[in-house]
A and B are shown apart, each in its own frame.
Chain A
Amino acid sequence: MYNPQLDADGNLKHLLTIEGLPKRILNQILDTAETFVGVAERDIKKVPLLRGKTVCNIFFENSTRTRTTFEIAAKRLSADVINLNVGTSSQSKGETILDTVDNLIAMHADMFVVRHAQSGAAHFIAQHVPDNISVINAGDGRHAHPTQGLLDVFTIRRYKPDMHNLRVALVGDVLHSRVARSEIHALTTLGVPEVRVIAPKTLLPTGIEKMGVQVFHDLKAGLKDVDVIMMLRLQNERMNGAMLPSAQEYFKTFGLTQEKLKLAKPDAIVMHPGPMNRGVEIDSSVADGSQSVILPQVTYGIAVRMAVMALLGGGQSAGTAAGGLLGSGFPSSLQSSAGGTA
């Protein structure tokens, strides 16, 4: 089956969604990320892999944290980084997505990191760009956020290496969460035998069982004997209409407290993709407690994003890439007339 994320040799070409990525590729990304964890612990936190390459962070939707982690990852690979908050620039002047992208291609960008409120935006851009450019989806609508999903499974693998013997629970607003979708795909592909989702009916998409998960509407029942608890953020800004009585009411039934955490295995880890709503989905004493790995998630997120960029950025001779760009980017008449003037 044609997979736009893989090239003819089966190597990663774009990272758009975890859905449909073979286990081999997921493991390759996670194994490569192990190497980059060490790089961040050195005095000189930089390697020369992407020297001379330009990474463009195109954010049609604001996200300071995600943009910052991609920026740090690219800079630690020695790439030049350009950040575009398109929401506040050209698009508000009426430019289309593809015009924005074409302009960046003309500036010889090598990699795009794309965040957009519309599902499928990164996919759309990936289909448009020439062969030598890679696209990374940094979150598209409710669809996917693959690097977040990967960093979560990377964190799990670091604390619980035996993935084939784990019980993982995702708690909260699954309906609006692209992170949840990416995580479920990653966990099931890597062979985690039991993935649970715990949420009120109004915050679950219909047919979620088809993704191979067990559904719980009671937090206490769902947390019993789990190894990993992944809290999801209550997406206030995505909620149009009253799906919940109130934030306080939500905390009472679905907020993770020390008392409820005791129902999980004693060595269970607590995760959160951030930003946290303390006192809404998670109690402060849990977020800052000994079982919380929320800050290591952030650290590993950089290593995972470095791994993805490093896998996408190599393996193509620079000569061919430049030729391909000129060939597809500019009409030949333009090039020959330029030659004539000289």
Chain B
Amino acid sequence: MQLPNPESLLSDISAKILTQLANPDLAESSALVGIHSGGVWLMQRILSQLKTEIPYGTLDAALYRDDYAQRGLKAEMQPSNIAFNVQDKHIILIDDIFYTGRTTRAAMNELFDYGRPASITLAVLINRGGSQLPIAPQIVGAEILLKPNESLQLSQDTKGKLHLSLETDDVSATDDLKASHV
């Protein structure tokens, strides 16, 4: 499958976010929040294009995930850092890949423990389909429908350039193999 160039998707969502921030009603009380790790990379790139200063922060949301009882804590957690006052802010929440919506739910729950935002807008690089909750991104770079056994990863190289990679977990192939033995 031909994957889109993440750098041009970033330009797209940056432009949309900048348009939203240009709205004088929202501009003064807006803030950006990136979800670790991909969302934070994207946020930093967007921040570098802004001409004015805007409050921003980072979230991990691992402490609010609904799969803790099954999986425990993931190996590498990043501390959340929301140094601004969340109360009454218009928050633009940034993540790299939108899938089940569960990370977004966890991130929103964590955000509400810092205060009551005026609104939350979700911006993602890619919506890969498969939402399991009534949650959807408002700002999207691209929609790519993927199968459950496929996994899309955003990475950042040492020069800060973004890359997308698609991995396929070969479940069906192993099943076929088992079937042929029977």
Chain A interface residue count, CB cutoff 8 Å, equals: 23
Cα distance A32–B76 when bound, in Å? 8
- Closest chain A residue to B62 by CB distance? A35
5 contacts between A and B (CB under 8 A): A34-B77, A38-B81, A43-B113, A315-B69, A315-B73
User: Chain B: interface secondary structure?
Assistant: loop
**Of residues 76 to 92 in B, which have CB atoms within 8 Å of A's CB atoms?**
76-82
- Closest chain A residue to B72 by CB distance? A315
**Of residues 1 to 56 in A, which have CB atoms within 8 Å of B's CB atoms?**
11, 28, 31-32, 34-35, 37-39, 42-44, 46-49
Cα distance A32–B78 when bound, in Å? 8
Instruction: Encode B50-72 as 1/0 by CB contact (under 8 A) with A.
Output: 00000000001011100011111
**Known contacts A31-B77, A42-B114; A47 and B71 CB within 8 A of each other:** no
Across the A-B interface, the 6 shortest Cβ-Cβ residue pairs: A315-B72, A314-B72, A47-B63, A44-B113, A314-B68, A35-B79
Instruction: Say which residue of B64, B70, B79 sits within 8 Å of A48 (CB atoms).
Output: B64
**Which interface residue of A38, A46, A311 has the most chain B CB atoms within 10 A?**
A38
Asked if A316 lies at the interface with its beta carbon under 8 angstroms from chain B, I say yes
**Known contacts A35-B80, A42-B114; A48 and B63 CB within 8 A of each other:** yes
Cα distance A35–B73 when bound, in Å? 11
By the criterion CB–CB under 8 Å, are A316 and B113 in contact?
Answer: no
Cα distance A209–B116 when bound, in Å? 57
By the criterion CB–CB under 8 Å, are B113 and A46 in contact?
Answer: yes
By the criterion CB–CB under 8 Å, are A310 and B73 in contact?
Answer: yes
Asked if B115 lies at the interface with its beta carbon under 8 angstroms from chain A, I say yes
By the criterion CB–CB under 8 Å, are A32 and B77 in contact?
Answer: yes
B113 to chain A, nearest CB (A): 4
- Closest chain B residue to A321 by CB distance? B69
Contacts of B69 in A (CB 8 A): 314-318
By the criterion CB–CB under 8 Å, are A35 and B72 in contact?
Answer: no
